[in-house]
Structure 1
Amino acid sequence: MKRMITFIGAILVFLGFALVTQPAQNANNKLVQHKVIKVGILQLVSHPALNQIHQGIISGLKDEGFKEGKNIKVEFQNAQGDQSNLKTMAQQLANRDDILFGIATPAAQSLVNAANKTTPVMMAGISNPVGGGGLVESEKRPGANVTGSSGDSPLDKQLQLIRDVMPQAKKIGVVYTSSDSGGQSNAKKFEKLVKKAGLQAKMYTIANTNDMQQISQQMASDVDVIYAPQDNGVASSMKTLVNNANQAGKAVFPAADTMVADGGTASYAIDQHDLGRTAGHMAAKVIHGKKPANYPVEYVVKGKYVINQKQVDKLNIQIPEKIMQQAHKNGRVIK
């Protein structure tokens, strides 16, 4: 009898413990149980491509039913290209918020360091999350607390666009920022494609946006056409690059649609807003309990033609009719 009483008592204690601890475990696994989710967004610098990703994040969360002032509170920080700002802002966001977004590789890296494998970190539009930033262990199984969206530039189609529009161009200048791992990776990949096509690639680097004035003047005088990869420093100084290229009568073919709007001639590009929106959709699933560690990185791969008609006219360039038709139908023609 005593054994039976002891056994029943042990069961009651166990059940009591389970009832107490189970809600706490669920609360840790599902952020949605919080009344208002605190969302922290860290952006490296202001320029149209990254701004579009930011807007896409908000759209993606809204698609999933998470709206500012209703069930989420968004805290946005912009480091304006300052590395020390990144570290400070990342720590502040990690201390205060439930889920974090890093826009551009340096921002995501800072958040990962500050979150210390606890708070979920969503990459937003990171072009090379494994090799370039070491943010995830693999694309299929990111590991720890990090996942998100990625979108490698369709480099082969971008090179083909240059060849279709500028068939006489033999020497292609490529400029990238030495400290931007994603930009450097994209530039090096493009260089290999150019060489494989039997053309000459001339590589130019800038340490920061202040270098673009001198470097772009030199490049524009040396090459037949310029390629601007998906690179934060280059995107931030597009107007300087385009101004010097125009003076030399050279076309700039950038990687991002927003860089065409900033003066580039044309591109076959993925949509930056879609990169952010995808990250927002993924974040909603993490909020509902999905583990970042085994949530594969999602890629945005569908591209579109974007043509800057003003630049085409200024440089007296003829865009093939087939490309113009596709730009009008599925892409964008900037007047």
Structure 2
Amino acid sequence: MELWRPRELQLCLGLGLLLLILLCGCQTPFSKPPLVGIILWDQDIQSFENNLQGVIEGLREEGYLDKLNVRLQTINSTGDRSRAANAAEIFQRHGARLLITLGTVPTLVALDVTQGSRLPVVYSGVGAPEATGLQCPSTPESRLTGTSMEVPVAEQLKIFKLAKPRLQRLGILFCSATPEAVATGTAAEAVARRMGLKVILAKVTDDRPELLDQALQTLESEGLQALFLPTDPVLASPKNLESICARLLHHQIPVMVPFASSVRHGALLSYHADSAEVGRQSGRQAGQILSGAAVWNVPPEIPKVKRLTLNLTIAQALELPVSRHLLSQARDLY
């Protein structure tokens, strides 16, 4: 039997390892994995945290694991536009291969900060991409794609009417400081009118308690029977939701919210995208781009999974009977 010399054995093992690395798409031991910067709007809002975990899972499904063949770095903007801009600047300066933005404001800010570059941006958790100026043209110049949280308002209101069968006067409240709230709030108004509902619209410029109090007084004086909150990262904060829902519960008025995690703060229900699943879709898109796909060949997506979350404790407090049909559609109950 012919024995391999140590030098020949080392050479063969080295070539085999190199071939394995190339086949697996991994980085060589002598190079750093590519940096992927994740800009998160507000980690205190549970839907964004779920979104983030979904992104990580989606990347893993495409073969990208943190610290193995990709470097994931997350910056929480804490609901501050300037922090989101600073995060985009940091990632661009450090040579990020790709940005993943969770929320409308981080996406808009990242595109503005990196204007003129070829740095790809993959969004997730965005309420109304096209209405907020986040178009994704299928052209070589495009560097934006992602998955939205957008569930058609007509589908949401159809569910709301099942929960409140004799609903005629619908209140809509949103903060005009965020583009997705304006876009989804305006869309909700138009859809509700087409469905034959009387719409009572109220806006706030920020979440100061006195402004919220004034807006709710206006809605109450107009005789609203239910309140619809569109996709609004300002009013979605636990503090604001609890204030709104507690006050309206006192007047026996149900509230519908856009996020599952918001239902626990006193809302009656939410018909929503699954934040983690949306994140997973975005993570897979990011993985495709990291693997060499052109951004314009990775089309934007809408949620593939929709959920109904019901708060039975609130339904009982509102003395609203929950039909068997509605209950059978709910995935999560409080």
Please tell me whether the aligned partners of residues 148 and 302 of structure 2 are also in contact (alpha carbons under 8 angstroms). Answer: yes
Q: Which residue is 2:13 aligned to?
A: none
Aligned partner letter, 1:299: I
Distance 1:135 1:31 in 2: 32
Aligned residue for 2:33?
36
Deviations 1:137-161 (A, max 9, x none): 43x5594221111132231121112
Residue 233 (structure 1) aligns with: 234
Preserved contact between residue 173 and residue 228 of structure 2 (Cα < 8 Å): yes
- The reply on whether 1:269 has 2:268 as its aligned counterpart is no
What are the residue-to-residue correspondences of 1:113-124 with 2, within 5 Å?
A: 113-116=112-115, 117-124=117-124
Deviates most, 207-216 or 123-132:
207-216
CA 32–106 in structure 1, closer or farther in 2 if over 3 Å, else same? farther
Matched residue of 1:209: which SS? coil
Partner of 1:27: none
Amino acid at match of 1:325: S
Distance 1:288-1:167 versus aligned 2 partners, 3 A rule: same
Superposed, 1:15-164 pairs within 5 Å as 35-45=32-42, 46-96=44-94, 97-116=96-115, 117-132=117-132, 134-138=133-137, 140=138, 143-164=141-162
Q: Distance in 2 between matches of 1:297 and 1:165?
A: 32
TM-score by length of 2: 0.83
Per-residue deviation at 1:213? 4.1
Change in Cα spacing, 1:62 to 1:260, as seen in structure 2 (3 Å) is same
Instruction: Report % sequence identity.
Output: 21
Change (3 A) 1:308 1:141: farther
Task: Give TM-score scaled by structure 1 length.
Answer: 0.83
Counterpart CA distance in 1 for 2:36 and 2:161 is 44
Counterpart Cα distance in 2 of 1:113 and 1:154? 28
Structure that is richer in helix per residue? 1
What residue in structure 2 maps to residue 212 of structure 1? 212
Gaps of 5+ in 2: 1-24
Indicate if the aligned counterparts of 2:147 and 2:278 stay in contact, CA closer than 8 A: yes
* Alpha carbons 1:153, 1:186 under 8 Å: kept: no
Q: How many residues align?
A: 300
**Secondary structure, aligned partner of 1:235:** coil
Question: Tell me, which stretches of 5 or more residues in structure 1 are unaligned?
Answer: 1-29
1:31 Cα deviation after fit:
10
**Conservation of the 8 A alpha-carbon contact between 1:141 and 1:296:** no
Letter in 2 for 1:267: S
- Give the counterpart of 1:285 among 288, 301, 304: 288
How well do the aligned residues superpose, as a CA RMSD in angstroms? 2.2
Q: Give me the whole-angstrom Cα distance separating, in 2, the residues matched to 1:142 and 1:238.
A: 42
Structure-1 separation of matches of 2:123 and 2:27: 20
Q: Deviations over 1:285-319 (max 9, x none)?
A: 00000111332111114322211122112222111
Q: Deviation of residue 37 (structure 1)? A: 2.5
Q: Name the SS for the 2:130 alignment partner.
A: coil
1:212 deviation in Å?
2.9
1:316 correspondence with 2:304: no
CA distance in 1, matches of 2:91, 2:248: 40
In the alignment, what sits opposite 1:3?
none
